[in-house]
Amino acid sequence: MRLGVLDVGSNTVHLLVVDAHPGARPLPAHSHKADLRLAQLLDGDGAIGPEGVDKLVTVVRRALEAAEDKGVEDLLPFATSAVREARNADDVLARVRAETGVELTVLTGAEEARLTFLAVRRWFGWSAGKLLVLDIGGGSLEIAYGIDEEPDAAVSLPLGAGRLTAGWLPGDPPAPEDVRALRRHVRAQIARTVGEIARFGAPDHVVATSKTFRQLARIAGAARSAEGLYVQRELKRQSVEAWVPRLAGMTTAERAELPGVSEGRAGQLLAGALVAEGAMDLLGVETVEICPWALREGVILRRLDHMGSV
């Protein structure tokens, strides 16, 4: 059947259409995305303002039209941290439902971590052993660890690249004291979770997902996306540490000139790099392998699992 996943994230609203059936890997058929930056549209009280809600309704409506055009039989719509943590989340969800007919399921941070872990486990298989998975989104950082398809630990922290950029790095380029303050904040947050992960022992394989990690890997020399999903891509902590001060000294426009860095994500790349550096350092990780599957694929795989068990 043809499935659609509608991901209302902190940075983008992304419709992924796949051809899938239980027991087979989902084959991408169409991708439709819009940069919305919900994490940056929150007002001083933590609510998504009227303009942001209007934009969200419009984007969801267009994504729904695209899904219908592509023959999607089953749409799986969900929202992550920006909607989850908005003070007026219930009102936003009700407005989307009333004006588009789409019922957004709001995932918890732990659910995000578990579904991303499932996607990574299916991509690498059982031979990967104990997996540690890191995912930096627009609104949150997810960390998951385990040896099965369900992780032993699943943690979500409010350390998304978009959220941190909006709240901590107002300058372009940012002031050095702001960068240092954000670095301290990121490491203090991550340090609280280290014990929860470390008690399970050293992982056999460390994997990173998300646009932030892919862009960092690309500027550090990894293969271009045009070379395909199955090319191995890695990112070393040493490379991230070398790039952080360089990114801190660049304007958004200068970062957008780097290989693999989109104009829309260039402003968040420094904050994302600080999170990646902090997570890898505090968790004792020297190298991560980049996985092309993440949360959206995890949602699809869970749906296929449920179909197969009926």
Mean pLDDT of 193-219: 97
Contact between residue 41 and residue 8 where contact means Cβ atoms under 8 Å apart: no
Per-residue model confidence (pLDDT) at position 309: 60
Instruction: Flag whether pLDDT at 286 surpasses 70.
Output: yes
pLDDT band at 37 (very low <50, low <70, confident <90, very high): confident
Instruction: Flag whether pLDDT at 118 surpasses 90.
Output: yes
Which residue type does 72 have? V
Contact between residue 129 and residue 147 where contact means Cβ atoms under 8 Å apart: yes
If DSSP codes are grouped into helix, strand and coil, which group holds residue 177? helix
Contact between residue 117 and residue 18 where contact means Cβ atoms under 8 Å apart: no
Q: Alpha-carbon distance 6 to 303, whole Å?
A: 13
Mean pLDDT of 177-181: 98
If DSSP codes are grouped into helix, strand and coil, which group holds residue 78? strand
pLDDT band at 188 (very low <50, low <70, confident <90, very high): very high
Q: Alpha-carbon distance 64 to 20, whole Å?
A: 19
Instruction: Flag whether pLDDT at 21 surpasses 90.
Output: no
Q: Alpha-carbon distance 21 to 76, whole Å?
A: 15
**Residue 173: cis peptide before it, omega within 30 degrees of 0:** yes
pLDDT band at 131 (very low <50, low <70, confident <90, very high): very high
pLDDT band at 38 (very low <50, low <70, confident <90, very high): confident
pLDDT band at 141 (very low <50, low <70, confident <90, very high): very high
pLDDT band at 22 (very low <50, low <70, confident <90, very high): confident
227 is written with which tokens?
A: 């070379």
* Higher-scoring residue by pLDDT: 310, 27: 27
Mean per-residue pLDDT of the chain:
95
Instruction: Flag whether pLDDT at 65 surpasses 90.
Output: yes
Give the CA count within 13 Å in the CB-facing half-sphere of 37.
14
Continuous H helices in 70-108:
81-84, 89-100
Instruction: Flag whether pLDDT at 293 surpasses 70.
Output: yes
Terminal CA-to-CA distance of the chain, rounded, Å? 15
The answer for residues whose C-beta is within 8 angstroms of residue 219's C-beta and 6 or more apart is: 243, 258, 259, 260, 261
| pLDDT, tens digit, 9 for 90 and up, residues 240-283 | 999 999 999 999 999 999 999 999 899 999 999 999 999 999 99
Beta-ladder partners of 75: 4
Sheet of 234-236: strand order equals 153-157, 141-146, 131-136, 205-209, 287-290, 234-236
Instruction: Flag whether pLDDT at 231 surpasses 70.
Output: yes
> By CB neighbour count within 10 A (0-12 exposed, 13-18 middle, 19+ buried), where does 127 fall?
exposed
Instruction: Flag whether pLDDT at 307 surpasses 90.
Output: no
Contact between residue 89 and residue 83 where contact means Cβ atoms under 8 Å apart: yes
Continuous H helices in the chain:
50-69, 81-84, 89-100, 109-124, 161-168, 176-198, 211-219, 237-248, 252-255, 263-266, 269-282, 295-309
Sheet of 12-19: strand order equals 27-35, 12-19, 2-8, 74-79, 105-106
Q: Alpha-carbon distance 214 to 216, whole Å?
A: 5
Per-residue model confidence (pLDDT) at position 306: 85
| pLDDT, tens digit, 9 for 90 and up, residues 66-86 | 999 999 999 999 999 999 999
Mean pLDDT of 226-246: 96
Per-residue model confidence (pLDDT) at position 308: 63
